[in-house]
Amino acid sequence: MEASAGLLRKKIVYDDISTLATETIILETKNSEKLDDVAYELRNCVKILKRNKLPDKLRADDIIKGEGDIPKQLYNFIRNLIEGPDMICKDPDCKSVKVVSLCSDIIYAITNGRTKPSKHLTLGLEMKLLTNSRKVITILNRYGYTVGYNLVEELETEMTYTSLDDDSVVPSGINTDSKLSTHVVFDNFDRFVDTTSGKDTMHDRVGIIYQFCQFDNEEP
């Protein structure tokens, strides 16, 4: 409080802002602690996640399932973070794919790669199929997007052994009923063939089989 220099010589009273500043700091601290609590809660959900280790007789279905399901709490948090309060979006499937992708990256990062979600297994195999490049897969692995190159090769080898041990040549999911329309196509797949020596080239034969769906209430 001090005397005014004006004509009326009134006193000027200054509000004590120390209390307001203290309350602001306390509020900011509480908000920060809330964020920490949410982070630790979601981390704990991932840490206690049951890991379904890949079987010895590895099949494509095992790769698609991955080694663990996404915790509901983590999925809801990431979904709310991306979509916000407005749950109505023009492309919900696209949003869902992004949510699952981010959740998978979080699980892979928290577990240091011990738990391998479906995304990291399937993306690694697909990138090897498309590029056959160790460098590309290594870069993606360092950013936490996929498993390492050596593991990708191990997965391919295990699935090959499983396929050789299987007496049936028909892929899983294909009905062998003769009344169903089934189409099979094979083609040569050659890459990096523009060399004079033929070194480091890849020659593969790719087969595709597809079949018209049969509904439960229909006869073959």
Residue pLDDT, tens place only, 48-88: 999 999 998 999 899 999 999 999 999 999 999 988 877 66
pLDDT at 125: 95
pLDDT at 212: 83
Q: Which two tokens stand for residue 200?
A: 């480091």
130 band by pLDDT with thresholds 50, 70 and 90 = confident
Average model confidence (pLDDT) across the chain: 82
Other beta carbons within 10 angstroms of residue 116's beta carbon come to 24
Q: What is the mean pLDDT of residues 23-50?
A: 83
Query: What percent of the chain lies above the pLDDT cut of 70?
Result: 75
Separation between Cα atoms, residue 69 and residue 67, nearest integer Å:
7
13 band by pLDDT with thresholds 50, 70 and 90 = low
Model confidence, pTM: 0.69
Separation between Cα atoms, residue 26 and residue 20, nearest integer Å:
10
